[in-house]
Amino acid sequence: MSLSIDTLRADGARFMEEISREYYLASAGLKEQVELQPIYARHRDIMSAESLAMVLERFKGAAAGSEDHRSARILLEWQAEAQSARELSPMDEREMAWESSAMIALPDGSKLQYERAPIEIANGTDRQKRLAVEAARATLVEAEFAPMKKDHLQREREITERLALAADYNTGWTLLSGVPLLELRDQCAQFLKDTADMWRECYRDFVPRVLGIAPGDATRADALALFRAREFDGGFPAREMESRVHAQVRDMGVDPTAGGNIRLDTGEREGKRSRAFCAPVRIPSEVYLVLRPFGGQTDWNTFLHELGHALHFGYMRQDLPFEYQWLGDNSVTESYAMLFDHLMQDDGWLKRYTDLGDVPRRDFLRAAGFEELHFLRRYCGKLVYETALYGGAVRWDSLPNLYVETLTDATTFRYHRADAFVDVDPRYYSARYLRAWQLQSLIAETLTKNYNEDWWRNPSAGPWVVHNLFAEGQRELAHEQALRVAGKGLSFAPLIRKIEALIG
């Protein structure tokens, strides 16, 4: 293979299609085992030391701020990740096989599929059973899964630092991603301080009232049950979810299937991941939205989130370069997903598309504000912890205690040491989520300004979103798009204002 940027792009697109299809089939429960190594072997030329050197030379030679520099940085980030992913693919296969087949032994002698544990915990009304499932899950994870994940994270850090693109992992990630990591970490620490009193007040109200337990007794398993919010299920009929959400998307002037590009997989299936996902197998013509149902408002929220991703990929310009279609700052696609799932925080949207009455709607919105605050505090805590994990200053055997301390302090729910290496978003995806939260708040403000508070049913709003946002892929960094779309920088301030309004 004669290596050039053009051949790298062409083969890169083929590789991404193959790897995405493999992950889709295995994660959707349509294939028993994921097989990554043959794909990496077929495309070994684009993950070689030569391809990395070629892209690095292009990056160093491009003028700062130029389009060539932007393109080269994105390709270099992909190359660095690909070097790691190729070496780690046997570990990925082993971990996915474990997740799809592992069974939890419960105290009564029965067994539960590992992937169903979050669903059972969230839906369980008997707290003792919920805690028993969680304890059995944690025991299994600590014995079998956590060692795999720890080994994976150690190897990932070593491989990336071995590339010698920067002094250490965190500096290298900042260079390649274009995201000011430590600045974001400091923003997260400040957000935790700024919202501490609001969190404490809400927590002390919701936990005893909804769960019937003392605030100091609540665990992360209790959090799953609390935010499942079963009391509102009547307002979110399962059979109506897809049709009503699709009706809303059509109201804003957009085809919810993107001309047939988007395919839905929202039923129960053995082996399907409990965590929903969107798989862009071919952009823009073959995009899968996969959801394993929990029930009630949880499914509506998740469906809206993944539909935001799917619409982004399904409406992306086909003529974009490979790196702007498949790569780039995933904060951007996550912001579109959040733009749609945050419709569940809009009183007008709920009144028009759900069955919630006036009183339940007010209660639901307050609960939604509490949930939003929880997840933001949780992800701020995760990023603070992960900068320590990847930073290398904390010993690996000290990280479980740091994880429990950091996440428990952020959320008040008690966390388990077993999850210290399992509850980690690879390559700082937690940073992408946090910047997506910030970006979506500015996009929503812009849509409200230009198309009124009910922009979500304005037939002029959808085409603007498609043309100005979805179609452009991920060429821009999140903070660049914030300045283009809203004329503002990213911050947590709009999110705090919105939460304050929701919780009253």
Using CA atoms, how far apart are residues 49 and 70, in angstroms rounded to an integer?
21
Query: Angle CA(256)–CA(258)–CA(259) in degrees, nearest 5?
Result: 115
Q: 329 is written with which tokens? A: 């700052």
Q: Domains of the chain by range and CATH?
A: 1-101 (no CATH), 185-503 (1.10.1370.30)
What is the average pLDDT across 455-484?
Answer: 98
Query: What's the pLDDT at 206?
Result: 95
Model confidence at 2: pLDDT above 80: no
Using CA atoms, how far apart are residues 414 and 389, in angstroms rounded to an integer?
20
Using CA atoms, how far apart are residues 58 and 14, in angstroms rounded to an integer?
22
Contact 323, 9 (CB under 8 A): yes
- Tens digits of per-residue pLDDT, 443-453? 999 999 999 99
Question: Could you please report the per-residue DSSP string of 197-236?
Answer: HHHHHHHHHHIIIII-S-GGG-BHHHHHHHHH-GGGGGGS
Question: Could you please report the per-residue DSSP string of 49-65?
Answer: HHHHHHHHHHHHHSPTT
Distance spanning both ends of the chain, measured CA to CA: 62
How do 262-265 and 286-290 pair as beta strands?
Answer: parallel
Using CA atoms, how far apart are residues 468 and 488, in angstroms rounded to an integer?
17
Q: pTM value? A: 0.93
Using CA atoms, how far apart are residues 13 and 81, in angstroms rounded to an integer?
15
Q: How many CA atoms lie within 13 A of 353 on its CB side?
A: 28
At residue 308, what are phi and psi to the nearest 5 degrees? -60, -45
- Tens digits of per-residue pLDDT, 255-297? 999 999 999 999 999 889 888 999 999 999 999 999 999 888 9
Query: What's the pLDDT at 1?
Result: 55
Query: What's the pLDDT at 83?
Result: 86
Question: 257 burial class (0-12, 13-18, 19+ CB within 10 angstroms)?
Answer: middle
Q: 227 is written with which tokens? A: 């935010």
Q: 396 is written with which tokens? A: 């690996």
Model confidence at 104: pLDDT above 90: yes
Query: Angle CA(158)–CA(331)–CA(279) in degrees, nearest 5?
Result: 85
Query: What's the pLDDT at 398?
Result: 97
**Max alpha carbon distance in the chain (Å)?**
66
Query: What's the pLDDT at 426?
Result: 86
Using CA atoms, how far apart are residues 407 and 218, in angstroms rounded to an integer?
13
Query: What's the pLDDT at 124?
Result: 86
Q: Which of these, 457, 417, 441, 250, lies nearest to 345 by C-alpha position?
A: 441
